[in-house]
Amino acid sequence: MSLRSARLLIIWVTLSTATAAVYADPVVAGTTSLPMFPIQDVILPANSAFNPNDFAVLADDVTAMGPSIFTRLAQVGSTIQMVDGYFSGTGVHPMLGHFQLLTGAPNGFSPMTLTLENVVQDPSHPGFASGDPASIVSADATFVVPNYGVNLLDLGVSLEVRDSFFFKASFDGLPPSVGTVYTADPYEGQDSLLPAYLAGTNTVVAYSTQRRLVAVPEPASLVLASLAAAFVIRRRV
């Protein structure tokens, strides 16, 4: 074999080995559970059903607890779509009492979706070659909530937020690390205000704003105490 042929063979073998080392099957279809705390601020308008005062009142950090469940589609390119999402969670607030927060078809609402773009996998992960979602190390997430409901259990009242909104987040895995924050866009200001209606009516009784999600371990109930919020009632200016 000539020196030139030997060099070409070495280059071909090197390139072939490198290609094999970085190859991964697309992340496979399945079910994804994302335990989380959905958190929002709730404004009770003046002279409304839940606020007889002549000024608006703010209920800070209204927090539920539970998992968002999605049907995960197989990866296409660097994108993973998750569909048919729903959330069933509970919480308690000094102003609102015990409540349920509900989304998705099982709860009578439109399904949530989650899109992961720019997905990157870890070649050293044992599931890399088989498309295990646990091999994901980074992705840009867009989480869409078409609408949702709240059951105020102590009052026997149900509310509906009928407007769609979305969150953005940077994932460092699937599920993302504990403490990862998904932030609504827009997060605050007039454009962030979403009306909450008495279920089955067009009567607005509250507004939702400053919505965010915080990733927690599975099961979420084990860390509820560690993320207890300070609830504040104050005049809205």
pLDDT per position as a tens digit, 73-93: 999 999 999 999 999 999 999
Q: Is residue 94 part of a domain?
A: yes
9-37: pLDDT as tens digits = 444 444 443 333 344 578 999 999 999 99
Q: Is residue 163 part of a domain?
A: yes
Q: How many domains does the chain have?
A: 1
Residues 6+ apart with CB under 8 A from 211: 38, 39, 40, 165, 167, 184, 187, 192
Q: Is residue 89 part of a domain?
A: yes
Q: Is residue 12 part of a domain?
A: no
CA distance 76 to 73: 9
| pLDDT beneath 70: ranges in the chain | 1-24, 219-237
145-162: pLDDT as tens digits = 999 999 999 999 999 999
φ, ψ (nearest 5 deg) of residue 8: -65, -40
